[in-house]
Amino acid sequence: MLIKDSFDEALKISESTNEFLSHYQIPPSPVNYSVIYLHASKRNDKLSAELERHVQTFQGVDLTFIEGLFEKYISNSHAIDKQILDPIEKSLTATLEKINLQVDSDKTVASNLKKAEKALTKHEYHKSMQNIVSFLMNNITASQQQHSDLSLELTRACGEVSFLKAKLEAARHEAIVDSLTGLYNRRGCDIKLKELDIEQVHSSLAIDIDHFKNVNDQFGHFIGDKVIQRIAKVIKSTISDQDIAVRFGGEEFIVVMVNKTMSQAHEVAEKIRLAISQLKLMQRDSKAYLPKISVSIGIAQRQDELNWTDVFEQADTALYQAKNNGRNRSVCL
């Protein structure tokens, strides 16, 4: 049957994927799994060709290369869902509906046969008819069991498809979100920028934590990470849902203020700066407070002739002016 073949194929692809990952000692993270699953399914010739060339050349696969394949062939598309999972899920669902209708029909027939058998038992001269009814009931019972077994198998298949779709969704999320802060990473920022209407007015904030190296040197990177997380939380809670908050690297953040002028962006920047300056961060073990944390912020507005790289560079220039002017301030360029 076509649906069962599709399910069996999905299981074989999963097994091949796991074998590949195990052979090259690649962690089965969502990103790694989705790349190798697409390769094992033989549904993306370009990805497979590039992967095979790499293996032949370097006799192995590293995580950086797999991440590059993910970004190139998967992260900005829903090819796997469309080519593999959605059609299978649709077919499975349709087949299950047909089986359920057949089961309902079998139940109706079985109920009528039971009534007939009960009526016929009262009349001995209908013995031959009773045998026919019993034969039909036995066949109906067997049919119901077959339908039940098939329905269970298809339900499991649906579960496998849902599981794979969840893995792919997790992979997409992992690929565009910074794991420490939950903000977008650079790749996520690039994807979100492509969704913006370039005809609108947009601004950008470049935010950098003041003297952050001193925090790491004095209190360690664990505390430094906690500081970054708290500042990211302040940024996220201050901006609107339409704005794009990005951890650009280390202790630097970018915020794209969607459909906001530089003046409006400056108001938001000041709210962020003041909120961070009022944070009271305590070390859990010693119960001692950390020194006051502050940020410097540079602000730029996107003009018609500027691309986003230019805007970010202008915001960064404004950021350095804020640093040179004493830190803990916002500067518009």
* Residue position matching structure tokens 């076509």: 2
> Which ranges in the chain belong to alpha helices (H)?
2-23, 30-40, 45-58, 63-73, 79-80, 86-120, 127-176, 186-194, 212-219, 221-238, 262-277, 308-324
CB atoms within 10 A of CB 290: 16
Phi-psi region of 8 (alpha: psi -120 to 50; beta: other; left: phi over 0): alpha
Task: Return the sign of the alpha-carbon dihedral for residues 210, 214, 218, 221.
Answer: positive
Dist. CA 262–CA 318, nearest whole Å? 12
Phi, psi of 183 (to 5 degrees): -80, 170
| Active-site option among 251, 252, 267, 270 | 251
Phi, psi of 280 (to 5 degrees): -120, 105
Say if CB 327 and CB 296 are below 8 A apart. Answer: yes
Q: Is residue 49 classed exposed, middle or buried when 0-12, 13-18 and 19+ CB atoms within 10 A define those classes?
A: exposed
Phi, psi of 286 (to 5 degrees): -85, -10
251: annotated active-site residue? yes
Instruction: Please name the residues in contact with 317: beta carbons below 8 A apart, sequence gap of 6 or more.
Output: 298, 300, 333
Dist. CA 77–CA 58, nearest whole Å? 28
| Active-site residue set | 251
